Amino acid sequence: MSAMRDLEETFKGACAALFDELSGGEELSVGFSGESSDFLRFNRGKVRQIGHVDGASLRFKYYRGGRSLASGFEATGEAEADRRKAAMALEAARREAALLPPDPYQVLPKAAASSREEFPGRLPDPGRLPQEILGPGQALEAAGAEFVGIHAQGPICRGAATSAGARHWFAAESFIADYSAYLPNGKALKSCYAGREWDGGEYARRLASEASRLEALGRPERAVPPGEYRAYIAPEALAEFIDFFSWYGLSERQIREGESAFISLKEGRTSLSPRFDLVQDFSLGVEPRFNESGEVAPERLRLIAGGKLASTLVSARSERQYGLPANAAPEEEFLRSAAIGAGELDEDRALEALGTGLYLSNLHYLNWSDVDSARVTGMTRFACFWVEGGRIVSPIKDLRFDDSLYRVFGDRLEALTARRSLVVNPSTYEERALGGSLLPGILLSGLTFTL
């Protein structure tokens, strides 16, 4: 908890330094990101890098005379050093903003509420990480696989403040063990164990249970020809589709500007499966409800209900531009903390329900292939199998799929699992990420593969 307190003091001090520098007619909204993380990188079941990272950064938006400019700086936690950095960053923003044209849809900070959420956790002793993480991995090494990955843990914090008086703080102690097991034939499985309450026994059980998948991955590879196949998409693979509800997705501005893949859904010309529900649900506790402007979103916002559009993501800027009530979406109007509704399929009987087709546990390189028709393309990756008669037969050679979200979540959506998994964001690029999605597995009557 002391690390959380230190990060919060850094946030408060840096915000005070910025606000103290403001002159008449100037306003600010400030976002804070911080972490205090222990980490362990490993391969071949051995420690390759171990250490600790402290980081804190502020990004702010400066407003004056109808002009606005985004900037920021890295905070040190040293009060005087951060005060100097704040003054320099703000003065640079003044100079640069003066060169910009006025913004006709500028929205000044107006939120003045405050909130505070902290989620303490129970984490492994940092001094015992090699034993905690690598010890259970010996089960995979014994099965002939190379155990590789990263474990990271500690508090992650976010804050927001505005010159209008808003003050928000979110902090959570969490861990993520993101691992893969590679076989000599080049095949691999990938998974992760994440949460706030570390359970060494559960972690060991998860690794031990991977033995059956490793055995299947060791079988001769099957080259599946292009075509349409029944497919089961596991929650970890389904998570790769979530970005497409943000990127040319459910943003009100992108729909109005003709850049969204869901225009026909908005206009009622097309619908998705009546089985499909999508909610922005902050009760998952994986990221804060507040945005960079200090506005607080509803705890739950139903976006798609029974296959029909229920709401879009509306920022304060879009509220001013289009006259719609905002729902505290970030200015970029991206989806946060997503949850797809559960179905009735027993996850343990997913292979039986699939019958003959493809079991997809991991996907990568997803991209739009045609936004107008909501077509998405991507590749199969780790631990994807050919299934016959409800039994795994062999791993598959990597395939490329290309299909429309109107089919994947529409007329090809046959069933969703009753059990849902919380799939967290494992990214450590620049900083440990917050965020995640609560997702079922989905059974499709057909998915189109092109290569």
Residue (of 53, 167, 60) closest to 117 by Cα position:
167
The predicted pLDDT at position 2 comes to 86
The predicted pLDDT at position 212 comes to 82
**Domain 2-217 belongs in CATH node 3.40.50.1820:** no
The predicted pLDDT at position 74 comes to 96
Residue (of 150, 203, 205, 196) closest to 175 by Cα position:
196
Do the beta carbons of residue 159 and residue 31 sit within 8 Å?
yes
Q: What is the DSSP letter of 101?
A: P
Cα–Cα distance for residue pair 423/243, rounded to 1 Å: 13
Walk along the chain (451 residues) and give the pLDDT tens digit of each residue. 689 999 999 999 999 999 999 999 999 999 999 999 999 999 998 999 999 999 999 999 999 999 999 999 999 999 999 999 999 999 999 999 999 999 999 999 988 889 999 999 999 999 999 999 999 999 999 889 999 999 999 999 999 999 999 999 999 999 999 999 999 999 999 999 999 999 999 999 999 988 888 999 999 999 999 999 999 999 999 999 999 999 999 999 999 999 999 999 999 999 999 999 999 999 998 999 999 899 999 999 999 999 999 999 999 999 999 999 999 999 999 999 999 999 999 999 999 999 999 999 999 999 999 999 999 999 999 999 999 999 999 999 999 999 999 999 999 999 999 999 999 999 988 899 999 999 999 999 999 999 9
Tokens at residue 449, please? 């593969």
φ and ψ of 44, to 5 deg: 50, 30
Buried b (16+ CB within 10 A) or exposed e, 97-123: beeeeeeeeebbbebeeeeeeeeeeeb
DSSP string computed for 213-272: HHHHHTSPPB-PPSEEEEEEE-HHHHGGGGGGGTTTTSBHHHHHTT--TTHHHHTTS---
Amino acid at 405: L
List the domain boundaries for the chain.
Answer: 2-217, 227-449
pTM above 0.85, yes or no: yes
Q: How do strand 167-182 and strand 188-195 relate by DSSP bridges?
A: antiparallel
The predicted pLDDT at position 1 comes to 63
